[in-house]
Amino acid sequence: MLAFTAKKLLTPAGVIERPLMLVDDGRIVEVAARSGQQVPTGVQLYDFGDYWIMPGYIDLHIHGGAGYDVMDGNCDALPAVEQFLVRHGVTGYFPTTVTAPVDLTLRSLERLANTIEDRESGNKKEVQARALPLGIHLEGPFISHERRGVHPPEYLLKPTLAMFERFWQASRGRIRVMTIAPELENASEVIAEAARRGVLVSLGHSDADFATAQRGIAAGARHATHAFNAMRPLGHRSPGILGAVLVDDSISADMIVDGIHVDPPVVKLFARAKGHERAVLITDAISATGMPNGRYRLGSFEVDVLDGKCTGPGGTLAGSVLTMDRAVQNLMQFAEWNLWQAASTASRNPARVVGVANKGNIAIGADADFIVLTSEGEVRRTFVGGTECAR
């Protein structure tokens, strides 16, 4: 058993001043104010002084980092990405595909499923040394030509139950998030089936009008992918998909808060519309994250990176080099939210919207995936399953 204390700790019920958290066998067994509580005899105490203890971050949308792409067949790719993630406070993530030839996508889904299963059944200490893949995010090929962004147009597909089933079987049911454009033929049918299987269906890369977006929500979509990017613009007489997403309280939505993809005042607007419960931070990070300027891979194509901006063919934005700790700090600044409000959009909220049990919260019975932060949101320590990760 291990004990942890700090200046403050964030729980689902609120902030505890001078807390005491006990961890045993990778799970949280007690959380309380330290006042009046005794550290059990023989238990090692970690005292983090004036820092905060927060739930570990969870990234629903990430293509890579540290020079590696998650669709890369290189056996070193995912371990390198996972070691990079924990340095920025991410304890769980959803490796995200990009539109590619079907055979490449199927192979990538199978490899990612293998990795997830290996991590679940492997050596416990090794599993806890890095960020954990919690499922797969299928971004493309069921997206709009008009709003495809950098996704190669020649590999886009119309959604069908048969094609979804091929992806599902290749992933062995590990697809947990799927981005889809609701205006495509048969989209509602595929949305309904994916939702029935427990997939978080996310509307995105879409040119849908308001009514069509509402039909996607009625079919089972519960989320929206990188709000304002790769979507029909919000119009005051034609609200489109963004109007549906922003006003519907049953829908959560995520955003890339790097100051490049969305201007800070619009980030503030988004934060006000979706609130502390339904706003989610993502990075959409690519292999170039944490690397110098240059040319990098994103799926089957190349992306140029210069001074924090990633561009693909034609100068289109192609993911980001954002890290989650920076996204939280940016949200604090742009939306004028405090640390615990901003951090919840990167921990509690993504865990809740995707339905990951025992993640994203510091509570009795939850996995001991947590981070130690300064009051400004800088990551100092990262723990997965109660084990500290090397930085």
Would you name the residues annotated as active-site residues? 284
What do you get for the CA distance between the two ends of the chain, in Å?
A: 23
Q: Torsions phi, psi of 127, nearest 5?
A: -60, -40
58/98 Cα distance (integer angstroms): 19
Q: Look up residue 32 and give its DSSP letter.
A: E
CA distances from 25 to 334, 351, 368, 385, 387 (A): 39, 21, 9, 8, 10
> Amino acid identity, residue 131?
A
Enter the tokens of residue 363.
Answer: 């509570």
* Residue indicated by tokens 């509570």: 363
DSSP helix/strand/coil, 176: strand
82/115 Cα distance (integer angstroms): 12
Among 268, 179, 275, 272, residue whose Cα is nearest residue 231 = 179
185/28 Cα distance (integer angstroms): 47
315/142 Cα distance (integer angstroms): 23
Among 349, 340, 352, 345, residue whose Cα is nearest residue 53 = 340
CA distances from 196 to 21, 140, 243, 253, 259 (A): 37, 19, 26, 20, 36
Quote the crossing angle between the two packed helices 102-121 and 161-170, to the nearest 10°. Answer: 40
